Amino acid sequence: MRHVAMFILALSLPRLAFAAAGPCSEPMPQQDMNVCMSRAVNEADSILNRVYEQLKNKLDDNGKRNLVSAEWAWITFRDRECELRSGYDAEHLDRNGTIVPFLVGECKLDLANQRMTDLVKELKCPGGDLSCPQ
């Protein structure tokens, strides 16, 4: 049953992806879509890393330790969440369809954008600064 649901999802997602504005929304072969999404994720990660470094440079030693710990936890969360959302099967790689890398990338892009928003908020008002409005 899971394979039938994944097949139906695979048939409908390209149309949904093309309708949505964003990276890789133009019709193209699946492999090209996967490469395109990989580039978009790498670009978002690069921006996210710059925001992270800006925040890290603004924090005291305790804040830096907390940020590093939080970031490692977030990376683990992102990877597991994207596996969940995409239906990625780590135990049976042959069951992952050709669209799965695109779906994982799309999820990572979404979560990276959310994380950037969170870090920018933190950059404006770092944790522990009681003078910031909550």
Instruction: Return the CATH number of 30-123, one of 1.10.150.120, 3.40.920.10, 3.30.420.40, 1.20.1270.180.
Output: 1.20.1270.180
Distance CA 40, CA 37 (A): 5
Mean predicted lDDT score pLDDT of the chain:
84
pLDDT confidence band for 3 (50 / 70 / 90)? very low
pLDDT confidence band for 15 (50 / 70 / 90)? very low
Distance CA 98, CA 119 (A): 33
The predicted-structure confidence for 54-91, as pLDDT tens digits, reads as follows 999 999 999 999 999 999 999 999 999 999 999 999 89
Domain ranges for the chain: 30-123
Residue 6 has pLDDT above 90, yes or no: no
